[in-house]
Structure 1
Amino acid sequence: MFKSLYLGRPFGIRTFVHWSFWILLAFVAFINMKAGLAAILLTILMIIAVFGCVLLHEFGHALTARRFGINTHDIVLYPIGGIARLERMPEQPSKEFLIAIAGPAVNFVIAFLLWMIDGFDTHVSNEHMQLMAIEKEFIEELLLINLVLGIFNLLPAFPMDGGRVLRSLLATRLSYLRATEIATFIGMILAGGMVLLGFLTGNPILFLIAVFVWMAGGAELAYVRHRHGTRVRTPFDQGGDGPTIDV
């Protein structure tokens, strides 16, 4: 059995890189072989930078949750993103909102800082112009990726942060259970739209995301119903316990 790489306990939270992450790096190296060693190293450096931002995103969730007395079991980085396993998700709308929004907020702050760095007017000699151009392109690409990460995570569908943000807003007027049902339903409509868009564009990634959203939404709804002692089921109910994590 392969083991995850232990990175330590930053902020007192156990942090791991899942073993499948190395498959991603190997795949990237393979598809860039013809481009040369420099291209491979630059691409791997970008992946490491992106996942560093993902890790900061997860710490945003974990440290905000800690302010409300909620600990985090661990944070694990996967090739598809990161997961912070919180002890629980509070049912108080304001607390859930702040915990959920903290992750995307980190990405937007990173994007802003990169934008400021990119705007510095640096005068360099001609022999360093090519290196500066590479650095500028790297910064701008990382900036764009952080914007995309922040916006994508705000989509109103579980397990994205936007699903929890939507539920927290609905829960200010409705019961937590009813808010979860509505947020789940909206997320599954969004999943259906992803399937349609994937069919029209021929993009299989959208199909995979749609399946993930559908299953995660059903699991979250089943988990909340279980906590509230509800046994009513709908066609969207996947059964089982939902995750007590932020993604």
Structure 2
Amino acid sequence: MSWSFKILRVAGIDVRIHVTFLLFLLWIGWSHYTFGGVEQAYSGVGLMLALFGCVLLHEFGHAFAARRYGIHTPDITMLPIGGLARLERMPEKPGQELVVALAGPAVNVVIAGVAILIFDCRFDLRALTALDQPEVSFGDKIASVNVMLVLFNLLPAFPMDGGRVLRALLAMATSHATATQIAARVGQALALVFGFLGLFGNPMLLFIALFVFLGASQENTMAQMKDLSGNLRVSDAMVTQLVTLDERATLDDAVEALLRTAQHEFPVVDTSGRVLGILTRDGMIAALKRHGAHTPVAAVMHRNLPVIDEHAPFKLAFEMMHTCGCPAIPVLDRWGRLAGLITPENIGELMMLRGLKRSDELAVWRARRAMPPPLPRV
């Protein structure tokens, strides 16, 4: 995620902090300082770090559960609104997705249980509205917040854990795409309820409503696109009419190629046709301003991109594009040479055409069903 930086690595997972999270901590510290001085500022920031520590453990719960099914988590990013564990993919089997979705809230249940049963803390709704008040004990605040994290995350709305739980349960009886569509609609309905309640003086509910509504819409779109990809292979979707750049080419050569083609992504290859990287139009423009036209393209291209075989399922390329955030994915032939590119643009075009084709097929099927039966022969 852009505007974030790595602070540590745990069990092969990078923990990253978004810049807005630091700004949030500064705001917490300053607001407490204005009311109670330095001591109050330290107390407020310390409590917030402890609460976000619980959120981080929640995300590690998802990550470790996903690892059980062979799914790696490259990083976890801490944001002012919570944590985001970036899984390479979600499990295909509903039972596995159910375990991964419940693993995060289960961590908060354990934290709250330890605080309540062992340290004699208690769940108190008053603690949630008095996090900055010293008369409420630190333990009560931790226990209460973790209980609320469980309840909030289990609301059946994407992108929260409850939406994934609902989808997993529905997917046991129907298709993944249909289950996602139903769960997304439930989430959007809850978002409208949050938004309506937020109009009566709670701006945080308006923010949550927007977050949930957009998250549900995005999840539904992703699921429908994966469903539309069907049994396609990468070779069915890749761009093959490509202009490539030699590894010895300069930005001047790249600009010439940009002006005479409609390409936005240019593979950089060696003399044997093997891909070394990708130079994008935006990267080209930025490098021209910074380094000049005689800079070798090999010095400013995107390196270490994932690659995929031309005979691989297109669904795999779609998931790779979603998780890596790459400008393009090089497609290789059986000799390891460049065969084509998968780009966000051609994925979108393919899905649009597949959706139109499916709509036409559905319209024909409905028309045939509506036709009267043929008259009997005399």
Determine if the TM-score, normalized by the shorter chain, exceeds 0.5.
Answer: yes
Report the AA paired with residue 47 of structure 1. M
2:179 aligned with 1:179, yes or no?
yes
Aligned AA (1:213): V
> Do structure 1's residue 110 and structure 2's residue 118 form an aligned pair?
no
TM-score (norm 1): 0.84
Distance 1:204 1:165 in 2: 27
Q: Determine which structure has more spread, i.e. the larger CA radius of gyration.
A: 2
**Deviation of 1:3 (Å):** 5.0
Deviation at 1:5, TM superposition (A): 3.8
- Is 1:215 aligned to residue 214 of structure 2? yes
TM-score of the pair, normalised by structure 2: 0.56
Distance 2:48 2:20 in 1: 14
2:192 corresponds to 1:192 = yes
Pairwise CA distance, 1:29: 1.8
Q: SS of the residue aligned with 1:7?
A: strand
CA distance in 1: counterparts of 2:210 and 2:3, whole angstroms: 27
Structure showing greater relative contact order (alpha-carbon pairs closer than 8 Å, 6 or more residues apart): 1
Listed as ranges, the gaps of 5+ residues in structure 2 are 122-133, 231-318, 324-378
Tell me how many residue pairs correspond in the alignment.
Answer: 221
Bigger helix share = 1
Please tell me whether residue 15 in structure 1 is matched to residue 19 in structure 2.
no
Q: Percent identity over the alignment?
A: 44
Letter in structure 2 aligned against 1:212: F
2:70: which partner in 1?
A: 69
Unaligned runs of at least 5 residues, structure 1: 121-133, 232-240
Residue 31 of structure 1 corresponds to 31
- Using the alignment, how far apart are the partners of 1:207 and 1:136 within structure 2? 28
Q: Cα deviation per residue 1:149-204 (whole Å; 9 max; x = unaligned)?
A: 111000100000000000000011111111001000111110111111112x3111
CA–CA distance in 2 between the matches of 1:75 and 1:84?
4
Match of 2:165 in 1: 165
Question: Which residue number corresponds to residue 147 of structure 1?
Answer: 147
* Residues 200-227 of structure 1: per-residue CA shift (max 9 Å, x gap): x311111111111111111111101111
- RMSD (CA atoms): 2.2
Q: Which structure: greater strand fraction? A: 2
CA separation in 1, counterparts of 2:37 and 2:145?
A: 24
Residues 224, 3 of structure 1: alpha-carbon distance in 2 compared, 3 angstrom cutoff: closer
Please state whether the residue corresponding to 2:86 is helix, strand or coil.
strand
Supply the distance in 2 between the matched residues of 1:29 and 1:67 (Cα, whole angstroms).
39
CA 1:230/1:211 → structure 2, altered by over 3 Å: closer, same or farther?
farther
**8 Å CA contact retained: 1:7, 1:15:** yes
